[in-house]
Amino acid sequence: MTCTIARVPGTYDTFGEPSAAAAVASGVPCYWWSDLSSRTSNSNVPGIVATETEHLLFAPGTDVQQGDQITTVSDHLGNVVFAATDYRVVEHVTIQRNHLDCTIRYGEVVGGRT
């Protein structure tokens, strides 16, 4: 799998809005997966709400930081897992002995879908 990492530069445009994120690296080797985080139910409403957590693994030394945007992820066959407005934001970067483990969340669009 490969991904593209973008970073918001911390500057603002003439209207006071944050500047657009700029690509830091593309074609970065990674491994993406999601797992079920929790399940909750409410006695007043039928059904179960399940949430999932998404992760990305990187090689040690990869330039990835909390707040970076993962704008694309493609699998080993070149199929796009997510891209464009469906980007993710890095919440945490945990340094392990032989890799970086990043927890990611949906970006700006509610639910991550347009």
At the second CATH level, the architecture of 2-112 is Beta Barrel (2.40)
> Hey, what amino acid is at 81?
V
Which residue do the tokens 């483990």 mark?
A: 101
* In the chain, domain spans: 2-112
Mean pLDDT (whole number) for 39-50: 68
Taking only the tens place, the pLDDT of each residue in 46-69 is 766 667 789 999 999 999 999 999
Q: For residue 14, what pLDDT is reported?
A: 83
Cα 46 → chain centroid: 31
Q: For residue 106, what pLDDT is reported?
A: 84
Distances, alpha carbon 91 to alpha carbons 14, 40, 58, 69, in Å = 28, 23, 15, 10
* Structure-block tokens of residue 68: 């970076």
Mean pLDDT (whole number) for 68-78: 94
pTM for the model:
0.79
Instruction: Tell whether the model's pLDDT for residue 80 goes beyond 80.
Output: yes
